[in-house]
Amino acid sequence: MGWKAAQKLIHHWKILRGDNVMIIRGKDKGETGVIKRVIRSQNRVIVDGKNLVKKHIKQGQGHEGGIFSVEAPLHVSNVQVVDPVTGKPCKVGIKYLEDGTKVRVSRGIGASGSIIPRPEILKIRSTPRPTVVCFVHAPFYYLCLSAAWICSIWSTFCKMPLNCVFVHDDIRR
């Protein structure tokens, strides 16, 4: 990808994996489907069972060759989230409720303004995050700061977040 294309990457995504979307341009225009994968580095999404193309695969060790139908990525501007009330495509807006929770709402002409629920597939974690517990005593404060530094290095290089929990033990002598 060139530097011009990198400048046009979407930084604040409003479409998530598991969302029910309608394709608004292309050969599958007007059809709805569920987002299977989001490719943020290319501003593209893969919709389950839509935008099928034929792929010629050469035979090799361990797999058979042939012509297969695979889902090709669509540009994110060619899909819109379906309003849960009206069933029509709509824009997505952000709103804060009275209790401070951030929710997505439907916007646009003919939109109901209802809350778009977070997809259930995003709530499922295949592996739990590891947790490091550090008890903070006054003489060992700098040791715990180094543990926090190790947690940040771990999550940077291993691409897996690490929960660091610091418990302050306020013992005065």
45 domain-assigned: yes
Distances (CA, A) of 57 to 46, 52, 63, 68: 20, 15, 10, 7
Identify the sign of the CA torsion 110, 75, 70, 20.
Answer: negative
Query: Is residue 45 within 8 Å of 98, Cβ to Cβ?
Result: no
Find where tokens 């550090």 sit: 134
d(CA 25, CA 112): 23
* Domain coverage including residue 48: 19-122
Q: Could you list the pLDDT tens digit for every one of the 173 residues in the chain?
A: 666 666 788 888 999 999 999 999 999 999 999 999 999 999 999 999 999 999 999 998 888 999 999 999 999 999 999 999 999 999 999 999 999 999 999 998 888 889 999 998 887 776 766 665 555 454 544 445 555 556 565 555 555 555 555 555 444 44
Please give the Cα distance from 64 to 86 (Å, whole number): 45
In a domain, 88, yes or no: yes
Q: Is residue 25 situated within a structural domain?
A: yes
pLDDT (tens digit per residue) in 151-166:
565 555 555 555 555 5
**pTM for the complete prediction?**
0.67
Read off the CATH number of the domain in which 106 is found. Answer: 2.30.30.30
Q: Which residues contact 157 (CB under 8 A, 6 or more apart)?
A: none
The number of domains in the chain is 1
The answer to the question of residue 102 being in a domain is yes
